[in-house]
Amino acid sequence: MTRAAWITGAGKGIGRSLALRLAADGWRVAVSARTEADLLSLAAEAERLHGAVAPHPLDVADEAAVARVLDAIEDGSGPLDLVVLNAGTHIPVAAAQFSAKPFRKLMEVNFFGVVHGLAAVLPRMIERGHGRIAVVASVSGYRGLPTAAAYGATKAALINMCEALKPELDRSGVRLTLINPGFVETPLTDRNDFPMPFLISAEKAADRIVRGLERGAFEITFPRRFTFLLKLARCLPYALYFRLTGRISRQ
């Protein structure tokens, strides 16, 4: 029986590579992003690789639109086995140019974009008693990092939310997975003007995600060496941690 998946933020980067990987593996894949041209080029690329994806343009910040797209997807392909809530963006925030605007923008897309997806998908999966939802956060949600005050806050909120939801969803039969990538080659990281340790390709990231989903992991994180170091950083006392991040912010 063919499995069905929906991926948001699939126009570029990790979402696009994951869509291509699942389609090549025989999944029926619905994809969403704000830019329709990106989705059409993704569909053409999937077809060349002998897979297929169904484009559904969407702004995840629009809750009603998220619900409409989910209706359209399940009307066309039946109940979804996997939903990957991946849409997100990044705006650096420096203390000298601090304002509320980037925080509001990133919360609408990165956090509420996921909340809107969960609000639409969870009632259906809970009623069916099965399904898997994967939420893409980031290792930047582990601790505060220079210039990531807004971005990291949205990702920390996603991590906390998923940790809170998991026990209850386990009892309902719905599996929740949290994906925390480190540095991955995407159009977003292409803007960075600082060194990105252990940078991996979006294709490798998609492979790590697929393997993590197959083994039923709650947290999928990569690249392992980098994320291990950041997990250790969560245990550092503030005096030492700020010494380290202070050096980063001066670079």
Q: In the chain, what are the domain boundaries?
A: 4-250
Q: Which pLDDT value is given to residue 159?
A: 98
Catalytic-role residue among 142, 151, 238, 241: 151
β strands within the chain, DSSP E: 4-7, 28-31, 53-55, 82-85, 132-136, 175-181, 219-222
Residue 126: pLDDT over 80? yes
What CA–CA distance (Å, rounded) separates 111 from 154?
6
Q: Which residues have C-beta within 8 Å of that of residue 244, sequence separation ≥ 6?
A: 233, 236
When pLDDT is cut at 50, 70 and 90, the band that residue 195 belongs to is: low
When pLDDT is cut at 50, 70 and 90, the band that residue 244 belongs to is: confident
Residue 162: pLDDT over 60? yes
Amino acid making up residue 7: I
Q: For the chain, what is the mean pLDDT?
A: 92
- Arithmetic mean of pLDDT, 111-135: 98
When pLDDT is cut at 50, 70 and 90, the band that residue 184 belongs to is: confident
- Arithmetic mean of pLDDT, 136-158: 95
Q: Which pLDDT value is given to residue 49?
A: 80
Instruction: Record the tokens describing residue 212, joined without a space.
Output: 């993590």
Q: Which pLDDT value is given to residue 226?
A: 84
Q: Which CATH superfamily is domain 4-250 in?
A: NAD(P)-binding Rossmann-like Domain (3.40.50.720)
Q: Which pLDDT value is given to residue 250?
A: 57
Residue 151: pLDDT over 60? yes
151 is catalytic: yes
Amino acid making up residue 115: V
Spatial CA neighbour of 169 closest among 224, 139, 128, 116? 128
pTM greater than 0.85 (yes/no): yes
Residue 189: pLDDT over 60? no
Q: Which pLDDT value is given to residue 227?
A: 87
Residue 41: pLDDT over 70? yes
Instruction: Record the tokens describing residue 15, joined without a space.
Output: 């979402």
pLDDT tens-digit readout, 225-240: 888 888 888 889 999 9
Q: Which pLDDT value is given to residue 188?
A: 61
What CA–CA distance (Å, rounded) separates 105 from 187?
18
Percent of the chain scored above 90 by pLDDT? 76
Token pair 């025989």: residue: 26
> How many Å is the Cα radius of gyration of the chain?
18
What CA–CA distance (Å, rounded) separates 105 from 239?
31
Spatial CA neighbour of 9 closest among 118, 184, 138, 135? 135
Residue 93: pLDDT over 60? yes
- Arithmetic mean of pLDDT, 208-232: 92
